Amino acid sequence: MKLFIENMNEEIAKEILGWEYDEPYDFYNSGLTDEDMKERLDGSYFALLNDNKELFGFFCTGENAQVPVGKKNGVYSDDSVDMGLGMNPNFVGKGNGFEFCSFILRYIEKTSKGTPIRLTVAKFNQRAIHLYEKLGFVKKDEFSTDFVEFITMVKRNEL
């Protein structure tokens, strides 16, 4: 599978905001609100297309990859590049995660030269946590919202 990075546009953002995941991953479902569209189009989000030109997923970096409650709790205070990601539900659970995440990590490692990479994941998402550990991430901090517990994970960037 080959993946290609595309700049986010309104059409792609609308498609992503319409994705619906099965339980318990429906926690990641969004809605098509003006605020969500504005965030997706602010320059921090990128689309990933496969070699069939299908929307495979997306990633973002910076503040949009952080959970606001975590920010209040100080878990984002050290110098790291925050990354967030999402895979098209049509491709989830089919063994694509390692290649998908590796592609994103290679891009971020090249563009952030030596800065550690951090992600935030819902604690219940053991499938993702296991994948991130295989990719070299280690658990760092934990925090909770009214609805879910989160952990941050960090990977050293050797480039």
Residues 121-145 have pLDDT tens digits of: 999 999 999 999 999 999 999 999 9
Helix ranges, the chain (H): 10-17, 34-40, 68-72, 97-112, 126-134
Give the mean model confidence (pLDDT) for residues 145-152: 93
Domain tally for the chain? 1
Q: Which tens digits make up the pLDDT trace of 68-100?
A: 999 888 999 989 999 999 999 999 989 999 999
Boundaries of domain holding 102? 3-155
What does the alpha-carbon distance between residue 143 and residue 74 come to, in Å, rounded to a whole number?
10
Burial of 104 (0-12, 13-18, 19+ CB in 10 A): buried
Q: How far is CA 20 from CA 26, 28, 121, 139, in A?
A: 7, 8, 18, 28
Question: Is the confidence at residue 159, as pLDDT, over 80?
Answer: no
Q: What is the pLDDT of residue 5?
A: 97
CATH of the domain at 8: 3.40.630.30
pTM of the model: 0.92
What does the alpha-carbon distance between residue 11 and residue 33 come to, in Å, rounded to a whole number?
14
By C-alpha distance, which of 155, 144, 151, 142 is closest to 121? 151
Q: How far apart are the first and last CA of the chain?
A: 24
